[in-house]
């Protein structure tokens, strides 16, 4: 059994639609353990998501307590968590980590939602005995334009669940939100950057870099990479008009990614380099985005749920009407039974009277 002094925990970070699933699969192939018996997969991620279901539930509960959701734009943890009681969720999270990974030398977790609530999980990791330097972060970066297109396609395929992202600009806001919240907790000593395009095009190179960062053996990684990676996985192209749509309202996203690209080749940037990336890019101002993006999204979501409410109300009324008809039918059936009993009683009485009349006539 691994003691708390020799355990390591790898946290895969990255915005939605940035390749966190294939990165997690790669790290697992290097020997890290997700403690997932069977990974969920669908048409979005045919190779699987590699997310522990309980971690997702905990993050959803946490975000709901904070008055938010995984697809909330412009989310700020510190502001949202101020004066909110989180102790019960904190204890559940500690129990999850301790119970799931108590005997795992190199644990691995992944859920993009962690980016939004990373300060919460840092407390959990520390409470669970993961000392300074024993938590390693592998952060994958993808173009905000590609991530937004991928989120848009995802919303087209599953419009019920993925409401925010149906406008290409909404996906870019989500990317920006996740990048800002996760890099606000940047740890230069324990963070490795991975580029989405590199992982797809040169998985062996990236695997070797991550293995060196985690101090693990990568002898079997080539076999995994040959089986797992497929050129068809890189399928999100960005039409110029969609890029222009994003740049028109959120130029910060493209500017931020361009700043990151200047760090390309630097897998473990210094804190000063990360600070410079964000210092030269304007912050997201929710008020500025309200008119062009957030208000239309809010109106669309409001209309959708208003229509759902009307549909639910109509179905409730229909059910109530049918229930009333059923009650009437049951009452009628009861009346029929009572009338039948009365007819049978009258028939018997009539038979007796007929017999008496025959006797009198004799």
pLDDT for 211 equals: 97
pLDDT for 360 equals: 72
- Tell me which residue of 170, 191, 168 sits closest to 115, measured CA to CA: 191
Residue 292 CA: distances (Å) to CA of 78, 144, 295, 305:
26, 18, 7, 21
Average pLDDT along the chain, 362 residues, taken 10 residues at a time: 70 95 96 85 66 95 92 88 96 98 96 97 96 94 94 83 82 92 94 94 95 94 92 76 91 91 89 89 60 62 65 79 82 83 82 77 67
Q: Tell me the pLDDT tens digit for each residue of 164-222.
A: 778 888 899 899 999 999 999 999 999 999 999 999 999 999 999 999 999 999 999 99
Model's pTM, two decimal places? 0.79
pLDDT for 44 equals: 62
pLDDT for 230 equals: 83
pLDDT for 333 equals: 83
Decide: 196 and 18 in contact? Cβ < 8 Å: yes
Decide: 234 and 22 in contact? Cβ < 8 Å: no
Q: 3-state secondary structure string, the chain?
A: CCCCCCCEEEEEECCCCCCHHHHHHHHHHCCCECCCCCCCCCCCCCCCCCCCHHHHHHHHHHHHHCCCCCCCCCCCHHHHHCCCCCHHHHHHHHHHHHHHHCCCCEEEEECHHHHCCHHHHHHHHHHCCCCCCCEEEEEEECCHHHHHHHHHHHHHHCCCCCCCCCCHHHHHHHHHHHHHHHHCCCCCCCEEEEEHHHHHHCHHHHHHHHHHHHCCCCCCHHHHHHHHCCHHHCCCCCCHHHHHHHHHHCHHHHHHHHHHHCCCCCCCCCHHHHHHHHHCCCCCCHHHHHHHHHHHHHHHHHHHHHHHHHHHHHHHHHHHHHHHHHHHHHHHHHHHHHHHHHHHHHHHHHHHHHHHHHHHHC
pLDDT for 350 equals: 79
pLDDT for 290 equals: 54
Contacts of 183 (CB under 8 A, 6+ apart): 139, 274, 277, 278
Q: Is the dihedral of CA 154, 140, 272, 113 positive or negative?
A: positive
pLDDT for 309 equals: 65
Helices 168-183, 271-279: axis angle to 10 degrees equals: 140
Tokens representing 173 are: 């806001």
Decide: 24 and 45 in contact? Cβ < 8 Å: no
pLDDT for 284 equals: 62
pLDDT for 1 equals: 46
pLDDT for 270 equals: 94
Domain spanning 8-284: which CATH class is it, in words? alpha beta
Contacts of 115 (CB under 8 A, 6+ apart): 13, 14, 15, 178, 179, 181, 182
């Amino acid at each position: 059994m691994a003691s708390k002094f020799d355990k390591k925990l790898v946290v895969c970070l990255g915005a939605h639609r940035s390749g966190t699933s294939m990165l997690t699969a790669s790290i697992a192939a290097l020997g890290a353990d997700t403690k997932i018996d069977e990974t969920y997969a669908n048409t979005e991620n045919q190779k699987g998501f590699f997310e522990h279901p309980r971690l997702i539930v905990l993050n959803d509960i946490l975000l709901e307590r904070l008055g938010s959701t995984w697809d909330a734009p412009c989310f700020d943890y510190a502001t949202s968590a101020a004066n909110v009681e989180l102790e019960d969720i904190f204890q559940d999270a500690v129990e999850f980590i301790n119970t799931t990974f108590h005997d795992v030398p190199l644990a691995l977790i992944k859920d993009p939602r962690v980016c939004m609530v990373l300060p919460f999980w840092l407390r959990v990791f520390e409470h669970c005995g993961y000392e300074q330097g024993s938590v390693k972060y592998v952060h994958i970066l993808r173009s905000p334009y590609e991530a937004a297109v991928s989120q848009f396609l995802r919303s087209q395929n599953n419009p019920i669940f993925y409401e925010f992202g149906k406008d290409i600009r909404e996906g870019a806001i989500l990317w920006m939100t996740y990048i800002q919240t996760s890099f606000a907790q940047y740890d230069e000593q324990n963070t490795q950057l991975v580029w989405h395009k590199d992982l797809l095009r040169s998985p062996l190179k990236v695997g070797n870099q991550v293995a060196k960062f985690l101090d693990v053996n990568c002898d079997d990684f080539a076999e995994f990479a040959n089986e797992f990676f497929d050129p068809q996985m890189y399928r999100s192209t960005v039409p110029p008009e969609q890029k222009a749509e994003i740049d028109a309202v959120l130029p910060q996203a493209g500017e931020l990614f361009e700043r990151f690209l200047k760090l390309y080749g630097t897998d473990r940037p210094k804190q000063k380099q990360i600070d410079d990336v964000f210092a030269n890019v304007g912050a997201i101002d929710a008020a500025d985005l309200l008119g062009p993006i957030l208000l239309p999204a809010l109106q669309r979501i409001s209309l959708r749920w208003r229509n759902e409410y009307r549909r639910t109300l109509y179905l409730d009324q229909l059910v109530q009407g049918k229930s009333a008809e059923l009650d009437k039918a049951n009452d009628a059936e009861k009346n029929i039974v009572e009338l039948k009993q009365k007819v049978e009683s009258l028939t018997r009485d009539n038979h007796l009277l007929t017999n008496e009349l025959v006797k009198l006539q004799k």
